[in-house]
Amino acid sequence: MNPDTLAEAILAVVTPIAASLRPEETLGLAASDIPLERPRNRDHGDWASNVAMRLAKRLGTNPRELAQRIADEMSTVDGVASAEVAGPGFINFRLDAAAAGVLAKTIVEAGSAYGTNDSQHGVSVNVEFVSANPTGPLHIAHTRWAALGDSIVRLLLASGANAVREYYINDAGAQMQRFASSVVASAKGEPTPEGGYPGEYIAALAARVVEARPDLLDLPEDEQLRIAEDLAYGYQLAEIKSSLERFNVPFDEWFSERTLHAKGEDGTSLIDQAVDRLREQGHVFDEAGAVWVRTTDFGDDKDRVIRRSNGEYTYFAADAAYYLNKGDRGFQNKIYLLGADHHGYVHRLKAVAGAAGEDPEKNIQVLIGQMVSINGARLSKRAGNIIEMDDLLEWLGTDALRYSLERSPADSPLDLDPELLQKRTNDNPVFYVQYAHARTHNVARNAVDSGVDRSEFAPETLTHETESALLGALQEFPRIVAFAAEVREPHRVARYLEELAGLYHRWYDNCRITPLGDAPIESVHRTRLWLNDATGQVLRNGLDLLGVSAPERM
């Protein structure tokens, strides 16, 4: 019996009781409305519910009396060993060993599908993150969003959503001109122009550009800049993609800002069309020769200029066009992951959603992350003033870096300890979880060598208290995944895996899969192998949601 079937059983008991108390009222409850949680003290049972306390006032009865009626009925349900009332109306449920133990086989048979759910079914989500300018390498500030954004999408997909990872390439505007000027200056052996990009990586890009176009410096200056921009941009973007691939972050869409500015056959751009569409919604007005969006209607601190009096569009215009384009591509919900210095974008983007006729509280979500620092990390020799992602990956490894970035809420500052992340001890969280997974495989290999297989499954033999605790945690995994997807918080999966690893290690210390000496192989040994393999599967599934590997040997 899992939490869902227990909730269904409680609903089946509660419904007639409610009807007897208030015949004229229909509860209108679903199994998902039945609250269940794990008791902090496992001596109190496997699951607890305050359903009686929630319904008592509505049904005009005493919470504890209602709880007792529910408990009495639930005690007769198959798979429920006991149901006891505690405090003002809590009900503690204890499942019988067989009903709880069946889960081990269910997990093994489900494999990688265990934990997937349909809580986000029918939801289309565009998750945009990283989106660094293609004018330099990715650095430490990008690593956190790369890890979190990818894991949020993995959680959404596991929960049934149609979700994509999108990278917005800021390849239009003044920064690209400064980038081209920097490359050309380096090719000429000149100092970095004012406002340009310094660093050895610019010299490396310049060398590649000159190698591709030996005639570059013989061309007119405007041609030099155009060619340098196009070639260096392509090289740098390829490096960014390579860094993200090394970090196990695959993007589904790479959206170029230039797409928004390009003129179509009708002579208009997506930005032109966006202004017209917002005007049709009634939120655009003209003043002092400029075109404005009345974003204060949607909580912004001031109205925004979308086209200046000289006819030039603002960055806000591109933001608006990009947002509308996401909707045109079928994404009803948009998630933006922005850095700590982008707080001002929250109201601006929500205002765009409102001006477009959408619900700013539903169709758009802007997540602001805090900075991450790593003691002892050195500035990049290539870039000169940043800590590159590639250097971090070489130093700490993808698994340690990703896991450590994902195990804390995005809005909390992080100061990572590199010495800890490189330790092969239980003090290192990622090692602790990965070692638990590797141990499940080692146990399985030893079991095979000892003649223990999964030819028999007797869940009623899983009676040790550590088995009850382990099975209880395994039951929770689908709920953890669904909730983490709903609140966009991968750290809930990481913390769950650490708890599961601890429960597994305690079980391993107390329950043998291989019999001692010449003792015969019994049903309990074979059944415990199912439980061992089920735990390994859940650890593996959870690590995959975090983009972290699950080694079979360590």
Residue 26 has pLDDT above 90, yes or no: no
Q: Rounded to an integer, what distance in angstroms lies between the CA atom of residue 132 and that of residue 352?
A: 22
- The predicted pLDDT at position 379 comes to 65
Closest CA to 49 of 17, 96, 11, 102: 11
Render pLDDT for 415-426 as a digit per residue (tens, 0 to 9).
999 999 999 999
pLDDT of 178? 97
Rounded Cα distance between 304 and 284, Å, is: 10
Average pLDDT over every residue of 37-53: 87
For the stretch 107-142, pLDDT in tens is 999 999 999 999 999 999 999 999 999 999 999 889
E-strand spans in 323-479? 333-338, 364-368, 372-374, 414-416
Burial track 437-458 (b if 16+ CB lie within 10 A, e otherwise): bbbbbbbbeebeeeebebebbb
- Those residues with Cβ within 8 angstroms of residue 469's Cβ, 6 or more apart along the chain or in another chain: 42, 503, 506, 507
Q: Is the pLDDT of residue 381 over 80?
A: no
Q: Please determine, for residue 538, whether its predicted confidence score (pLDDT) is greater than 70.
A: yes
pLDDT of 372? 86
> Tokens 């997540």 correspond to what residue?
367
Give the closest residue to 312 by CA, choosing from 279, 283, 290, 287.
Answer: 290
Query: Can you give the pTM of this predicted structure?
Result: 0.90
Least reliable range by pLDDT among 48-57, 206-215, 297-306, 493-502: 297-306
Instruction: Domains for the chain: give ranges and CATH numbers.
Output: 3-95 (3.30.1360.70), 124-169+250-372 (3.40.50.620), 174-246 (no CATH), 423-545 (1.10.730.10)
Per-residue pLDDT at 120: 96
488 has pLDDT over 90? yes
* Closest of 501, 487, 508 to residue 538, by C-alpha: 501
Q: Calculate the CA dihedral of residues 134, 153, 411, 489 and round it to 10 degrees.
A: -170
* 232 neighbors 209 (Cβ within 8 angstroms): yes
Which position has the higher pLDDT, 381 or 136?
A: 136
26-30, 62-66, 277-281, 330-334: least confident range:
26-30
In whole angstroms, what is the distance from residue 84 CA to residue 94 CA? Answer: 9
